[in-house]
Structure 1
């Protein structure tokens, strides 16, 4: 008799806003002032920006006629002079606010000489239709939005860019792949492979699906979108969901972007919990045209979020410089700064690199041993068992996007009792203390063999920084599931953890912890089942650290 299917994972607690610091009241007041010229109540800096915009451009709200005749709410910054100029189209993030999220930044592009159109994608805010999650209807809408801008431009439009944050970043890349008029893209906190966003190493990313369903509570989702996300939550038809996701993945269309030499700027966070950094970087590697990626401390949208209300922000500055160079032709030097700019945890130093993967001196292989050490030599034959269905001693984050915003404020999630964590719930190995600063730059990799008592198993691997006081911080992680192996068989897992740029201080130790469950992921284990990690002589278990 076949084993019973694992029960669906319980839904995580209600997701917080993906953009917790977005002040909708201030942004809508700024938009109202752009329209009326009345700046009473605005801070002096915002009032000055309103005056600067109105001196060179006309701001107006309107509707874009999208696919199937659905009307999309939009705003246009149109210059009064007839001279040629570049243009930018900005699809809004996944929220109930819609295009006003871009009010300040769109105004700055307008003052800088661009015609700008910002719009709310279908199914969000006051736009008609149902959210297609960057599907064919959203691509068609983006093309219609560009038509709308071009028809109203007072003079010739020279070159065209699409810029988006989060959901808007995905739409921007996909429109650029399908519309030959688009010359450059800025994708901030977007995705590359939507299939991997929803299922990583055969593990359903249930917290991410839950966040997408709840973070824009007034969104009207298309039935295919609802079904795809529901499949992730309940373990439904994942083949259907992955086919749905493939069409909506920039990775699927990356050759077209390269063929036309579309200039692509990306920005992402190392500890991104909604759209993991690994799948974005794999897409970035495949781009064949001009490209750049800024990688920062934080989580989803955190690095660029302060720029939306107008505060100084490195990501928005670089996105603007990217467009100024590739659309306006400014020789500002950004093309000579290398393809990668990494913010290092926790020094916050900025390190440029000519390519990704970043250059490494070597890869250090540390073997998992029966004594709980990470050692230079293999140690075959031991076993370390963990019990499923008990409390998780370590977790990636308390909720999608939440811990990363604390990281931006210099408060990474601590694990105060890491050195003494419950060994019935986690298998743990630690390296010797580092005599000098250990520079981890790139993608850590894990190979481990384990025996699962039941068919269907899951574990999550965490690479941690263990301090001398016994506390720890997260460096990187990845989940893994096997859904097909017979009961009581050996399973081999070869997985990439999420990429990192991390400085392990002198006296600290690298720690590897393997647990059967994390709240961000579905759990294929049966309650009270066991996973027994081991290291067979022919295929020893080890972790590889990329040494910068």
Structure 2
């Protein structure tokens, strides 16, 4: 595939956004849809739009767009670092205009190495942080009146940069981070398992970008499974979680949005960041995958994520008493009803836990059973997979077409399967499921992937959540005890459906440590029985 043809934002309508920018510059809205024409007219009635260049770190010129009010009234400002795309700041064209019409001065810029910005891709490193502060300087210098408060907003790549600039630049008063990461190391390596599909996707989507030699080396090393500790050290400095104490010390308000089935930056690592923050915070979790829930807002359509972003800044930058501070910290969109459930905090999402034990015969039971063993042959993929494609599968979910898993086709020689009794009433899974399982690995390194499925009476399954696990330290032919968190979920298992746990040794989304034709023998010791904890709300 041509690298330039691959995008992490497949629904992004670049020609329409380019036409929108042309209308912002010329005032000619004849080629725009009426709603987009109205947005252009409203923005132009209060602010002047222009392209500009920011003097970034190391003398590199950063390509940017500026929405500037000419009246000398005091007003807040917003800086928007771009997503991971060669389109640069273009995805923010509509929303920058919306913010300008709401009274903000706005600067959106293309992160270094992308689009028309000079320099090399630093992956939210020190140069990107410096660029963010210099973009803010550039905006303040061109503001006609006093700057009251300052916000940073980013989607995807830009969201990580936004958080890191806020951690390093005390001028930043509030952050909006959409489809973001908290711990980049966990996004690369979850439970010591390499996210090869995610790294490959980032690589391919940067086909026209100018990656720094260090960035290129880190990506290649993760894919080749070499020098992983160095990659994790590199990722740590680029992780907002590393700097969370500074954000908490200054009580910086941060709004996160995320997708339950995120394939680039899985939800739990962002949850870790969210739970550690001590200031005002909010987390919206939605059906879909990376940047999908907020994408329609980038094209100008009504979108609840962007509406919340507007309200977040209106309150924390503009001082508007719009009620958002009283709405609770968490809003979860339930699969597949799309019901929105507010909660005061993450801890209140789970009300109690149901423990099911893995027992002989492939059942999930209420009481433990020791002494059984189930062998899994490694190296063979099964119908149980994370998704059909990075990012793109999430758009099918948002359209109401989640992947159907043919559970009857799962070969029990290459996967271990346990199934619970039919649910007597709807089971409301809310929170982070946990799996504790013991297995014997003949080789010193081993990997498995666990999938939690909702199975209908006809045997068709839908994925609820999953997690990988890799052991790199146990001696050959020893018992390995794995205790892992599956990715967070808000899922209603309907009455009459069954919860199914599938464990296999191969998934194309991950790099596995298993030798070809190796086997994993799952069991349940009496002292530490293998079990699945389901969070219920």
Fold conserved between structures, TM > 0.5: yes
1:208 aligns with 2:208: no
Partner secondary structure for residue 338 of structure 2: coil
2:161 counterpart residue number: 171
1:118 counterpart residue number: 108
Give yes or no for contact 2:362–2:418 (8 Å, CA) kept in 1.
yes
1:496 aligns with 2:479: no
Partner secondary structure for residue 380 of structure 1: coil
Distance 2:103 2:5 in 1: 39
Shift of 1:15: 9.0
2:89 counterpart residue number: 99
Select the residue among 67, 83, 90 that pairs with 1:77: 67
Q: Which runs of 4+ in 1 moved over 6 A?
A: none
1:374 counterpart residue number: 364
1:187 counterpart residue number: 177
2:285 counterpart residue number: 295
Distance 2:350 2:184 in 1: 29
1:3 counterpart residue number: none
Shift of 1:14: 10
* 1:391-406 alignment runs, 5 A limit: 391-406=381-396
1:471 aligns with 2:460: yes
Q: Over the residues paired in the alignment, what is the CA RMSD in angstroms?
A: 1.2
Partner secondary structure for residue 306 of structure 1: helix
Partner secondary structure for residue 126 of structure 1: coil
Q: Give TM-score, length-normalised by structure 2.
A: 0.99
Distance 2:4 2:231 in 1: 23
Distance 2:109 2:456 in 1: 48
Work out the number of aligned pairs and report it: 536
Select the residue among 215, 218, 221 that pairs with 1:228: 218
1:357 counterpart residue number: 347
Change (3 A) 1:107 1:14: closer
Shift of 1:389: 1.5
* 1:421-432 alignment runs, 5 A limit: 421-432=410-421
Distance 2:130 2:351 in 1: 46
Shift of 1:211: 0.8
2:132 counterpart residue number: 142
1:454 counterpart residue number: 443
Shift of 1:391: 2.9
1:309 aligns with 2:299: yes
Shift of 1:51: 1.3
Give yes or no for contact 1:379–1:540 (8 Å, CA) kept in 2.
yes
Select the residue among 338, 349, 361 that pairs with 1:348: 338
Shift of 1:199: 0.3
Q: Give the unaligned 5+ runs of structure 2.
A: none
Partner secondary structure for residue 466 of structure 2: strand
Give yes or no for contact 2:89–2:108 (8 Å, CA) kept in 1.
yes
Distance 1:305 1:318 in 2: 14
Distance 2:35 2:388 in 1: 36
1:437 counterpart residue number: 426
Give yes or no for contact 1:15–1:400 (8 Å, CA) kept in 2.
no
Shift of 1:360: 2.7
Partner secondary structure for residue 88 of structure 1: strand
Distance 2:53 2:41 in 1: 25
* 1:7-18 alignment runs, 5 A limit: 16-18=6-8
1:521 aligns with 2:510: yes
Cα distance per residue 1:503-535 (max 9 Å; x no partner): 000000110000001111001101111011000
Shift of 1:106: 0.3
2:54 counterpart residue number: 64
Give yes or no for contact 1:16–1:402 (8 Å, CA) kept in 2.
no
Q: Give the unaligned 5+ runs of structure 1.
A: 1-10
Shift of 1:358: 3.1
> Does 45-54 or 522-531 show the bigger shift?
45-54
Cα distance per residue 1:327-377 (max 9 Å; x no partner): 001100000000000000011000000001334331111000011110011
1:218 counterpart residue number: 208
Shift of 1:216: 2.6
Give yes or no for contact 1:15–1:399 (8 Å, CA) kept in 2.
no
Partner secondary structure for residue 245 of structure 1: helix
Change (3 A) 1:14 1:211: farther
Distance 1:306 1:396 in 2: 24
Partner secondary structure for residue 346 of structure 2: coil
Distance 2:82 2:420 in 1: 46
Select the residue among 324, 329, 333 that pairs with 2:323: 333
Give yes or no for contact 1:462–1:474 (8 Å, CA) kept in 2.
yes
Partner secondary structure for residue 62 of structure 1: strand
